[in-house]
Structure 1
Amino acid sequence: MLRLPFVALFNLLLLLRTLLGVPFRLLASRHRPAYVRFRLTGDPPYRERRAPRFQLGGQRPEPADVTSVERFRESLRLLAKDARLKGILLEVEGLAVPPAKRDALVAVLAEFRAAGKRVVAWAVAVETDSYPVMCAADEVLLAPMGRVELVGYSAEATALAEGLGRVGIRAHFVRRGDYKTAPELFTHPTVSDIQARTVESFLDERYADLVDAVARGRRKTAEEVKALIDQGPFSARRAVMAGLVDALVSEADLPVHLGLVKAGDSHEEETELESLSTYLSTVPFPPVRWRRLRSLPRVALVPVSGIIAPGQAGSGGRMALSGTVVKALRAAARDRRAKAVVLYINSPGGAALASELMLEAVQRVARKKPVLAYMDRVCASAGYMVAVGAKEIWSAPHAVVGSIGVFAGKFEAAALLERLGIHRRLLMRGEHSAIFTNSRGFTPDEHATLEAEVEETYQAFLAHVARGRGRTSEEIHALAEGRVYSGLRAKGVGLVDAIGGFEDACRHALSLAKVSAERFDLVTYGAPRRRISLLKLLMGAASVRTYALCPTAWSLGGWGTERFDAERPWWDGLSEVLSALGEARGWKR
């Protein structure tokens, strides 16, 4: 009841501010823009991130920047109701979103076009990942100096054993399952056929999706699109000749092309395409975000982003730290307004012990309120172990899922130390007291002990997944041993419950709590941490650990930014692997 007078006062102030601005907006309505400019760049979140109330510094987005998929959808629905508005200009610059978010953006544009409005897409340079978004427009424009980097998808799998051997380092790892190919990065001189086939299966799916999107958007056959991809990349002139873009228009000439300025007219000032904020200043009664008497249903979002490792906030780099995630889960459970929890997982795996701690915390929350796990990039190995604690698992069609398996080992630097003239004398009290040293490899007895530990960890992994998925360990074992699936294939074998988008997953989580709502609030608990130095990672990667990591995640061009091509250097992915090997402390018996 105490909320009611404050809400009434707040809404009264909003009403007064709106009414006082009506005369000014009426005067400005004569200059209401016919096109509104939006700029798609980077990786906008699904929902608007709430900024701290008191925040000094920081980089603010440009007025035309799309700050979230949800806000973009709301803006276009508002514009679609204005009969005087012709459409929008969509500027695409450095867009790097996962396929699921790209599909969400395409759906927003399709809804706007279905309302009879026009979408004109423009870019200076566009890449393979972002070009399908431009294909969802009525007209595709390119700057005269621009390029269309439509070349398809590639991935680089790496084998370091020979290179490590040349500097005097040998990798000693024990794994469970032929498909658990993560240690092959360090133990094999060449990339195995299993690893290559796994990566190729994902390339096939992504390539087919790309061909279909371009064929529909540019009204071409699949064969024509495949032929064009094989001819890429394209200069601006070649892109027009190939029908990939409709015209070449400089940014300064966009108003003329859209009919906002007559060609040949001389103006002292250059005509600018206006953003949404300028458009709203010309609407007599713009939409007002009234404070509700009754709050919207709330969904708590807990991200598990990065390589999974033990630790608390401030002790790790680009990792999902167990202490941080567990703390966030507890806070979500205490939030009485949060009717459900969505666990957003973007992780190739990590330390087995840390993932089990997270799993236990997820299971505790799930006993109080529904927990739904969602992934649109990577949810593999230890990341998938965390997901099975949820009531349901949802995935995007092309997410990397599975890789149920473990490995353990260490790096031996005896030859390197000898070359550097470093002498070590190993003194022992206890048969296995030197199992962690990098001065030598494993003794036969140490190797047998490690194999037993890996087998024990693997069986525990199977048991966790079997309980979470309502299957037997034998059934899960047939799908495990490191096998990796796309979201679609994971749904087919029962590792995923549903294929869908982020918004649908959140609404379904509310429905599990018996709350039916089209609109809801999303509150995030926890956040990924900053990077740590590569030197620290390298220095820490010398002792025995037990891991559940998926190599396909980094072979496909990176699980962090989801740049599914060859532009991301292989050593960037390697630094993340070494990050896990150096920082994560697994199940040590």
Structure 2
Amino acid sequence: MKEFFKYVLATIVGFLAISLIGIFLMFIVFGAIIASADKEITVADQSMLVIDLSQSIVDRAPNDPFEDLELPGIFSSIKTIGLDNISESLKKAANDDRIKGVYLKLSITNGGFASVEEIRNELIAFKDSCDKPIYAVADQMMLDQKGYYVATVADQIVLHPEVTLDFRGLSSELMFYKNALEKLGVEMQIIRGPNNKFKSAVEPFMLDKMSEENREQRLVYMNSLWNHMLKGISEKRNISIEKLNALADEAQTYKKAQDMVENGLIDAAKFRDEVLDDMREITGIEGTEGIPVVSVKDYVKVPVKGHSKKYSRNKVAVIYASGEIGTTVSADEGINGDKLGKEIRKVRQDSSYKAIVLRVNSPGGAVFDSETIWREVKLAAEEKTLVVSFGDVAASGGYYISCPADKIVASPNTITGSIGIFGQVPNFGELMNDKLGITTDAVGTNEHSNFLSLMRPMTPYEKQRMTNYITIGYDTFLSHVADGRGMTKEEVDNIGQGRVWSGENAKEIGLIDEFGGLEDAIKLAVEMEGLEDYRTVALPALTSPFEEMFKLGGNVKARILKSELGEKYRYYEHLKKATEMNGIYARMPYDIYLN
């Protein structure tokens, strides 16, 4: 009994000690956040605006108070940079005498091709509006192709002598789970829409390599992306497309920076002290004094004289729809049909909003949520000017919710299309019975009470019912697109069938109307509505930093995994999504990561 009480007391003392340490750490964290929030941001004369493209590029910068907080093993060191903040900062910097130039910090670019295109276009607009230089530097191991594409608009591209340029063309790899699932005893029962031969989201569970249709569609849109990049690089670097392709065929990766100078891809190979000398020359700082710099995240908060717009009663709603579409997702992780639908409905019913711009960056997801959002977009488009702006990807369900718009604006290298539907139901029977020795049995009141059990193969009746449902769903998808785009269902089916297109391809076949980014979409909506003055309102409203604090618990697991896995986190995330799929989806065939 004495030993028992000793262990109980030790447990209680240990619990109290851990609790006190936890509370102490919480106060330290909250104190650091509050101190950071109260910190006044000033911009010194002769400053450089720093745009760090090694950060994770998102459409809209979050109000995350933990982003700049580093606690080993808990918080990821990956920072985010918002396209909205980059755009706003460059517009301000063009007319701010304190900012003498832009410093592009480059390495591995954590953003999609359309995001990179928007940043590049914003930099071009910056150069057109002022005579301030853009200085691009890569001094961290490697400069990737997306970063280089952005850098080609700079006045100078400089690499550290030991940094290499990864210039080799585009490639893409898919993971296939069929053999692994067979070894585990898991069968993925899959049904695709009629003639959805390009809807290859299910191929990793059916095959051990790409189908010919999948290989074809990937090559078509990858060539479109690559040729668009080459054209932009050629114009800015004065190198022919033929020579650029020849250099890519050689694969410049792991060649010395000096080799890049000699073939004209960059301007100079310099050490950090030499880069600092260049920056002093740009800013007009003499001697060895430090160069004042300001990040986009800080600069966007600083008022600049003459930049603020006059107040207008005419509001243009910019509604962001980013991530996977699904009923189970949280507002932070994806698009919830009911929540986004409610946001669109509120704007539609508010007479102070004169136009709507829906920013879509989504590979799609659950059909039910897609239909819910589609209905609200359609109703809104019947009452107000509604323009959709595509981000990196707006495919399958992402296109589904967009097709009722008056106009669709996308980048030439947006990934879109994927008009198709599929369903999949896993059968864990062999895994449970043969591998784990767990058996199941069932009783029911009616003939099909045990409809679509996960512990046995589907019956012919169940397969037929699911096939009919998917066929009807695909027909509905075709009808929505046909109505929204002024096409026949047959015309949509010819370019549908689950096929993925680049923005450039999509314009040729009528899936989008114009090329451009979010700013272009806003201007188009204003022009269509005939507004002389307006102000934009970003929706849904971001949660406050203090609200983010109370959501910390739900994000800890993801933060730890991201911190440990780094760039490899995306493979974990992809596998997790794949294993959770059970039902009917209008989703892009895969998550696209082009190297």
TM-score (norm 2): 0.75
User: Does residue 356 of the first structure (1) align with residue 371 of the second (2)?
Assistant: yes
Change (3 A) 1:304 1:248: same
User: d(CA) in 1 for partners of 2:293 and 2:85?
Assistant: 19
Q: Where does residue 232 of structure 1 map in the other structure?
A: 252
Secondary structure of the residue that 2:437 maps to in structure 1?
coil
Q: Where does residue 123 of structure 2 map in the other structure?
A: 109
Q: Where does residue 585 of structure 2 map in the other structure?
A: 547
Residue type at the aligned position of 2:472: E
Q: Where does residue 216 of structure 2 map in the other structure?
A: 197
Query: How do 1:231-310 and structure 2 match up within 5 A?
Result: 231-233=251-253, 234-258=255-279, 260=281, 270-275=289-294, 287-288=305-306, 292=310, 294-295=311-312, 297-310=314-327
Residue type at the aligned position of 1:549: R
Shift of 1:539: 10
Q: Where does residue 178 of structure 1 map in the other structure?
A: 197
Q: Where does residue 92 of structure 1 map in the other structure?
A: 106
Query: 1:110-135 CA deviation, whole Å, 9 max, x = no partner?
Result: 34545444332212142111111211
User: Does residue 164 of the first structure (1) align with residue 202 of the second (2)?
Assistant: no
Change (3 A) 1:198 1:516: farther
- Which one has the bigger helix percentage? 2
Residue type at the aligned position of 1:92: L
* Contact 1:174/1:408, CA 8 A, preserved across alignment: yes
Q: Where does residue 408 of structure 1 map in the other structure?
A: 423
What is the RMSD computed on CA atoms of the aligned residues? 3.7
* Contact 2:228/2:412, CA 8 A, preserved across alignment: no
Residue type at the aligned position of 1:231: A
Secondary structure of the residue that 2:467 maps to in structure 1?
helix
User: Does residue 444 of the first structure (1) align with residue 460 of the second (2)?
Assistant: yes
Query: 1:444-467 CA deviation, whole Å, 9 max, x = no partner?
Result: 122112211111111122222222
Residue type at the aligned position of 2:116: R
Deviates most, 413-422 or 230-239: 230-239
Q: Where does residue 445 of structure 2 map in the other structure?
A: 429
Query: 1:381-417 CA deviation, whole Å, 9 max, x = no partner?
Result: 1221111232222221121222111111211122211
* Contact 1:73/1:108, CA 8 A, preserved across alignment: yes
* Contact 1:198/1:484, CA 8 A, preserved across alignment: yes
* Contact 2:91/2:126, CA 8 A, preserved across alignment: no
Change (3 A) 1:429 1:184: farther
Where in structure 1 are there 5+ consecutive unaligned residues?
1-24, 558-563, 566-589
Deviates most, 396-405 or 426-435: 426-435
Residue type at the aligned position of 1:446: E
Q: Where does residue 580 of structure 1 map in the other structure?
A: none
Change (3 A) 1:131 1:395: same
Deviates most, 250-259 or 195-204: 250-259
Change (3 A) 1:474 1:527: farther
Secondary structure of the residue that 1:350 maps to in structure 2?
strand
Query: How do 1:7-156 and structure 2 match up within 5 A?
Result: 32-33=45-46, 36-41=48-53, 42-43=55-56, 59=68, 68-79=85-96, 87-114=101-128, 115-125=130-140, 126-156=143-173
Shift of 1:538: 5.7
Query: 1:321-377 CA deviation, whole Å, 9 max, x = no partner?
Result: 112211221232344432211111111111111111111111222233222111121
User: d(CA) in 2 for partners of 1:381 and 1:437?
Assistant: 27
Deviates most, 243-252 or 91-100: 91-100
Secondary structure of the residue that 1:376 maps to in structure 2?
strand
Q: Where does residue 467 of structure 1 map in the other structure?
A: 483
Residue type at the aligned position of 1:181: S
User: d(CA) in 1 for partners of 2:578 and 2:276?
Assistant: 57
* Contact 2:359/2:518, CA 8 A, preserved across alignment: no
Residue type at the aligned position of 1:301: V
User: d(CA) in 1 for partners of 2:438 and 2:280?
Assistant: 75
Shift of 1:67: 7.0
Residue type at the aligned position of 1:256: D
Change (3 A) 1:111 1:450: closer
Q: Where does residue 13 of structure 2 map in the other structure?
A: none
Change (3 A) 1:135 1:296: farther
- Identity of counterpart residues, as a percentage? 24
Change (3 A) 1:121 1:536: closer
Secondary structure of the residue that 1:387 maps to in structure 2?
coil
User: d(CA) in 2 for partners of 1:299 and 1:45?
Assistant: 21
Aligned length: 507
User: Does residue 454 of the first structure (1) align with residue 470 of the second (2)?
Assistant: yes
* Contact 2:50/2:104, CA 8 A, preserved across alignment: yes
* Contact 1:377/1:400, CA 8 A, preserved across alignment: yes
Shift of 1:441: 0.9
Q: Where does residue 576 of structure 1 map in the other structure?
A: none
User: d(CA) in 2 for partners of 1:70 and 1:464?
Assistant: 33
Change (3 A) 1:493 1:158: same
Match of 1:388 among 377, 380, 403: 403
Residue type at the aligned position of 1:206: L
Change (3 A) 1:56 1:274: closer
User: d(CA) in 2 for partners of 1:287 and 1:134?
Assistant: 29
Secondary structure of the residue that 1:439 maps to in structure 2?
coil
User: d(CA) in 2 for partners of 1:208 and 1:435?
Assistant: 50
User: d(CA) in 1 for partners of 2:82 and 2:446?
Assistant: 63
Shift of 1:274: 4.0
User: d(CA) in 2 for partners of 1:459 and 1:327?
Assistant: 26
Change (3 A) 1:403 1:257: closer
Residue type at the aligned position of 2:478: L
User: d(CA) in 2 for partners of 1:221 and 1:108?
Assistant: 24
Shift of 1:86: 6.7
Secondary structure of the residue that 2:163 maps to in structure 1?
strand
Q: Where does residue 16 of structure 1 map in the other structure?
A: none
Secondary structure of the residue that 1:163 maps to in structure 2?
helix
* Contact 2:51/2:104, CA 8 A, preserved across alignment: yes
* Contact 1:363/1:389, CA 8 A, preserved across alignment: yes
User: d(CA) in 1 for partners of 2:220 and 2:123?
Assistant: 30
Residue type at the aligned position of 2:341: V
Query: 1:27-71 CA deviation, whole Å, 9 max, x = no partner?
Result: x9xx953x7342333355667x596xxx96653999x99972322
User: Does residue 496 of the first structure (1) align with residue 515 of the second (2)?
Assistant: no
